């Protein structure tokens, strides 16, 4: 289905790339060719990170394999600008996924690969001592690692710019429900024993007749509390000032300015067709000789950015992006605050669209984001301090050279999601339900970007849909990456897997896609060897092989190691940062180990005095308690973090040094209080007048021991 586009966005004509084939290897051993049909053990459709991992694992298991990439770009988001790896807990990542980051680490271990800064200066901010892995990297390095890795397996074939025929591209055996072959627009046909759909869109899965969902399920579908429309919980990346939405301010009859939808947000908790916003992860630099000025795109119309300008004029002078530093003075730059690089509402039709419509949406996103950056850096209605800030960074000249330094991959955060006989939900992410057939771990926050921008009853602009809730590491079910047996018997779907909107927000991370791609290829190999369907693969044997290949299938983390600890396993009353009530925009992170829960949040060393976090500890039993807080130490932390503890008439104020370790068990005692059962202790951490990054992780009320 193609969903109606209900926004006032301009529509542009699409263009289609010519078909160019890149073949990294010659004929495969045991490959059977007949006319335009080529046959393989495993056919991987989609050269994303998950697809590459699937191909490498297939080759390691002795299977003939081909990767068919519909575009001219290999590696998906991992090579497309997302160098600030979203992890949650590093210890939850194993197998080929961890090997990829170790290979990146090996690259940066060579001093000659540090051109614009020293490794020591960078690593003191971003890398834990003793790690072999590198979790932040430049796009061209990720591409180099992938291509070198694939070249180690001459049996792997990769073809580029071959798109599935969306009308008649899948041939299935009606009796066995098995895919026999897939056809490309070029007329080429690829037959296989097992197919893996590793695309972000799920085209092969959908055209094979597998049911799927687009948009947000209502909260009642799976009994979730975070799915569906969430006005009350949408506090992140939000407007902080009253911004008039009308063409003629104060006059609704004049119509809405661009980037705002007509009508209200909808019923709280209800499902809808809306998809969380997409953007491009730009690679920028402040190195003058490698920096280019922001391009003003063809078709630029300043009216598109009236909301941006009015928001500035209303008093919101926050720097509306999030540039995270990569090696060599480059960034992976993401969305931030009320109006930023997320093109809210412009992607609803994308998941089910044909190629021409998708290209139009892709072009529109590029035009919007390039125009946004030019506006913030140059428009006279933007305050000078903001213009100066956005002129300090520009696109890196030595990245994405073939696409004029612009990322070639749109960040398709979510498109189709398969509906199998097991659906990963919020309950899995919070470990209220545990999958017994794990093929990998999720560990990142349940993270949905905003889905819509609307006008409140009071007549001001508001965003909706951004949800960020922390999770402990949790297993991902094998049944969630394969369809139900009545639909297809030889297909695996490690990217557009079976998951609700809110749980997919946690699972949808590049390292996890690599993990699931490897597991999918292992299951495919077992199905081929056992001459069985993917549904009938012996899980016990699959699990044994996955563990042999160093996949992480169960949570083994402990406090102070490479991963965080589950808050409920700690003594006393513990409140993680995921449950804190925050003011201002805090950025989720997990780059420094030793945290509680799925990670921690940082103020980014910005907007001093504007950010705070309230932790509420409810005391279960009358007695004396030590009130404590945890953080991960680092040289870039603030040495003077203000902390206020209040309980009734009791109040203490202190400043803590987060450059030093909190304590032997990771916690620092703020003070001791005698408290009554049912009493609430409020701990407020702020970034007022601090001299570095402020970290919020967890607070604890621990019964006094002496």
Residue 22 has pLDDT above 60, yes or no: no
Name residues whose C-beta falls within 8 Å of residue 706's C-beta, 6 or more positions apart in sequence: none
The mean pLDDT of 54-82, rounded to a whole number, is: 98
The mean pLDDT of 614-642, rounded to a whole number, is: 92
pLDDT-based confidence at 6, cuts 50/70/90? very low
pLDDT recorded at residue 260: 98
- Give the C-alpha separation, 195 to 490, whole Å: 6
Residue 522 has pLDDT above 80, yes or no: yes
Q: Which of 565, 626, 600 is nearest to 685 (CA)?
A: 600
Residue 589 has pLDDT above 80, yes or no: no
Name residues whose C-beta falls within 8 Å of residue 102's C-beta, 6 or more positions apart in sequence: 132, 133
What pLDDT, in 10s, does the model give residues 335-358? Answer: 999 999 999 999 999 999 999 999
The mean pLDDT of 146-167, rounded to a whole number, is: 97
| pLDDT above 70 as % of the chain | 92
CA atoms within 13 Å, Cβ hemisphere of 335: 23
Distance between alpha carbon 407 and the CA centroid of its chain, in Å? 16
Write the DSSP symbol of residue 503. H
Residue 427 phi/psi, 5° resolution? -65, -35
pLDDT-based confidence at 29, cuts 50/70/90? very low
The mean pLDDT of 298-309, rounded to a whole number, is: 97
pLDDT recorded at residue 31: 44
Q: Which two tokens stand for residue 193?
A: 């024993």
What pLDDT, in 10s, does the model give residues 411-438? Answer: 999 999 999 999 999 999 988 899 999 9
Pairing of strands 65-69, 37-45: parallel
- Give the C-alpha separation, 70 to 129, whole Å: 40
Question: What are residue 248's DSSP bridge partners?
Answer: 251
pLDDT-based confidence at 125, cuts 50/70/90? low
Are 476 and 93 in contact, with CB atoms under 8 Å apart?
Answer: no
Distance between alpha carbon 55 and the CA centroid of its chain, in Å? 22
Pairing of strands 178-183, 170-173: antiparallel
Decide: helix, strand or coil at residue 37: strand
Q: Which of 508, 66, 437 is nearest to 276 (CA)?
A: 508
Decide: helix, strand or coil at residue 259: coil
Q: What is the mean pLDDT of the chain?
A: 91
Residue 560 has pLDDT above 60, yes or no: no
Distances (CA, A) of 139 to 108, 392, 398, 399: 13, 21, 10, 7
The mean pLDDT of 533-537, rounded to a whole number, is: 98
pLDDT-based confidence at 590, cuts 50/70/90? low
Buried b (16+ CB within 10 A) or exposed e, 609-632: eebbbbbebebeeeeebbbbbbbb
Residue ranges and CATH numbers for the domains of the chain are 39-214+417-446+463-549 (3.50.50.60), 567-703 (2.60.120.260)
pLDDT-based confidence at 127, cuts 50/70/90? low
- Give the C-alpha separation, 179 to 156, whole Å: 21
Q: Which of 162, 500, 205 is nearest to 352 (CA)?
A: 205
Q: Which two tokens stand for residue 220?
A: 């009642």
pLDDT recorded at residue 25: 37
Q: What is the pTM of this model?
A: 0.81
H/E segment holding residue 441: strand 438-442
pLDDT recorded at residue 30: 36
Distances (CA, A) of 194 to 319, 537, 540: 48, 12, 20
pLDDT recorded at residue 605: 79
The mean pLDDT of 528-546, rounded to a whole number, is: 98
What pLDDT, in 10s, does the model give residues 190-247? Answer: 999 999 999 999 999 999 999 999 999 999 999 999 999 999 888 889 999 999 999 9
- Give the C-alpha separation, 706 to 686, whole Å: 31
pLDDT recorded at residue 126: 67
pLDDT recorded at residue 698: 95
pLDDT recorded at residue 636: 81
Q: Which of 648, 641, 639 is nearest to 676 (CA)?
A: 648
pLDDT recorded at residue 96: 98
End-to-end CA distance of the chain: 66
**Rounded to 5, what percent of the chain is helix, strand, coil?**
25, 25, 50
Pairing of strands 600-602, 587-589: antiparallel
115-129, 158-172, 226-240, 672-686, range with the lowest pLDDT? 115-129
pLDDT recorded at residue 95: 98
- Give the C-alpha separation, 214 to 141, whole Å: 34
């Amino acid at each position: 289905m193609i969903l109606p586009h209900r926004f006032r966005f301009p529509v542009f004509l699409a263009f289609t790339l010519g078909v160019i084939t890149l073949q990294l290897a010659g004929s495969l051993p045991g490959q059977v060719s007949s006319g335009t049909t080529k046959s393989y053990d495993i056919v991987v459709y989609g050269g994303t990170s998950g697809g590459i991992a699937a191909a490498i694992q297939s080759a390691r298991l002795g299977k003939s394999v081909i990767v068919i990439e519909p575009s001219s770009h290999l590696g998906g988001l991992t090579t497309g600008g997302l160098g600030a790896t979203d992890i949650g807990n590093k210890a939850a990542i194993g197998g080929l996924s961890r090997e990829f980051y170790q290979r990146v680490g090996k690259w940066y271990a060579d001093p000659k690969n540090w051109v614009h800064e020293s490794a020591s200066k960078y690593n003191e901010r971003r890398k834990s001592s003793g790690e072999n892995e590198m979790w932040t990297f430049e796009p061209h390095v990720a591409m180099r690692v992938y291509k070198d890795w694939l070249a180690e397996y001459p049996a792997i074939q990769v073809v580029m710019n071959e798109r599935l025929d969306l009308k008649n591209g899948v041939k299935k055996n009606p009796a066995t429900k098995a895919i026999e072959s897939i056809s490309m627009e070029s007329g080429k046909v690829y037959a296989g024993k097992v197919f893996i759909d590793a695309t972000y869109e799920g085209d092969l899965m959908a055209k094979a007749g597998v049911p799927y969902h687009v948009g947000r399920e209502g909260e009642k579908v799976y009994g979730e509390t975070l799915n569906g429309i969430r006005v009350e919980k949408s506090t992140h990346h939000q407007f902080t000032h009253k911004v008039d939405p009308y063409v003629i301010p104060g006059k609704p009859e004049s119509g809405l300015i661009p980037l705002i939808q007509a009508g209200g947000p909808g019923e709280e908790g209800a499902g809808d067709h809306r998809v969380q916003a997409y953007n491009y992860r730009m690679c920028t630099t402040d190195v003058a000789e490698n920096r280019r000025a922001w391009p003003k795109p063809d078709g630029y119309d300043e009216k598109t950015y009236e909301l941006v300008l009015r928001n500035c004029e209303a008093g919101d002078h926050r720097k509306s992006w999030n540039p995270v530093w990569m090696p060599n003075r480059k960034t992976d730059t993401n969305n931030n605050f009320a109006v930023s690089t997320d093109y809210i509402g412009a992607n609803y039709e994308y998941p089910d669209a044909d190629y021409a419509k998708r290209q139009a949406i892709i072009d529109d996103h590029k035009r919007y984001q390039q125009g946004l950056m030019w506006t913030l850096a140059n428009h006279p209605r933007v305050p000078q301090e903001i213009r100066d800030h956005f002129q300090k960074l520009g696109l890196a000249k030595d990245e994405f050279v073939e696409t004029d330094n612009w990322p070639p991959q749109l960040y398709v955060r979510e498109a189709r999601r398969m509906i199998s006989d097991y659906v990963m939900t919020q309950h899995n992410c919070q470990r209220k339900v545990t999958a017994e057939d794990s093929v990998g771990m999720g560990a990142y926050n349940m993270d949905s970007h905003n889905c819509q921008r609307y006008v409140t009853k009071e007549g001001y602009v508001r965003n909706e849909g951004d949800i960020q809730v922390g999770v402990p590491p949790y297993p991902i079910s094998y049944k969630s990456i394969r369809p139900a047996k009545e639909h297809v018997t030889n297909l695996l779907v490690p990217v557009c897997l079976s998951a609700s909107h809110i749980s997919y927000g946690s699972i949808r991370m590049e390292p996890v896609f690599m993990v699931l791609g490897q597991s999918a290829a292992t299951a495919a190999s077992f199905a081929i060897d056992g001459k069985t369907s993917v549904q009938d693969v012996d899980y016990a044997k699959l699990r044994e092989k996955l563990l042999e290949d160093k996949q992480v299938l169960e949570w083994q983390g402990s406090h102070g190691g490479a991963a965080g600890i589950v808050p409920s396993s700690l003594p006393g009353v513990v409140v993680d940062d995921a449950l804190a009530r925050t003011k201002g925009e805090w950025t989720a992170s997990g780059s420094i180990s030793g945290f509680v829960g799925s990670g921690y949040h940082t103020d980014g060393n910005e907007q001093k005095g504007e950010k705070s976090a309230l932790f509420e500890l409810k005391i279960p039993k009358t007695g004396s308690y030590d009130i404590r807080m945890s953080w991960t130490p680092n040289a870039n932390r603030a040495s003077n973090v203000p902390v206020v503890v209040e309980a009734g008439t009791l109040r203490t104020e202190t400043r803590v040094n987060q450059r030093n370790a909190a304590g032997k068990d990771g916690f620092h005692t703020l003070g001791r209080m005698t408290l009554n059962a049912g009493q609430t202790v409020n701990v407020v951490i702020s970034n007022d007048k601090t001299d570095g990054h402020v970290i919020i992780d967890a607070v604890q009320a621990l019964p006094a021991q002496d």
